[in-house]
Structure 1
Amino acid sequence: MASTFSESLYWRRSARRYELAGLAAWTLAALSCVVFLAILLAARNLLVPAVLLVPLACVMVLVGRWCDRNSRDAWDFAFWSLHAEVRQ
C-alpha cells in the first residue's frame, strides 16, 4: 500500500508557516518602534512604560531573522526531498 505522506509537502508547508511567522514578527517589531516614537514625541509622561517597547522590538527582530532562516532551510529540505521522491 502506498503511503500518502509527502515529505516535500510537509517541508513546503513548514516553510510557509515560518514565512508567515517571520512576517508577523517583523510587523510587530516595526509597530513597536512606531508606537515608541509616537509616545516619545507626544506623551513624555509615558516614557517609562514605553521603554519596554524597545526590547520587545529587538526580540521580534531576532525572532523574524530566526523564522527567515528556518524558512529558507525548510524550502531547501522541500526541494531535496522532492528530488528524492521523484527518483524513487
Structure 2
Amino acid sequence: MAQSDRRAKRFERAVVDLVEALVLQGREGRTFAGTIIDLDERRRDRGVASIPRLAVEAPVAGAGLELGVEQILRLQRADVRTGKVLFVPA
C-alpha cells in the first residue's frame, strides 16, 4: 500500500511539473515576482518559489535566496520534454 501511494504521488508530481512547464514555455528570459517558500537545508542556494501571477511553484537556484522574501526572478528554463523548469534571481 505504501509503495503504491509513493508511486501515485510521484506520478501526480510529474503531471504538475509538466503542466507548469507548458504554462511557462516560451516565457524564458522574462521576469516575475515570486516568494521563496522553501530552501534546501544543505544548499541554501536552491529552493522553491511561488509565482502567484502564473499560479506555479517552481524550483529556484542562485545566491541570495531568503525564505519568505519576495524577489524578482527570471525564468531560465521551461522544458516541456522533461517537465523541468528553473527560476533564478534577476
Place the TM-score, normalised by the shorter chain, in its bin.
0.3 to 0.5
Q: Rg bigger for which structure?
A: 1
Higher strand share: 2
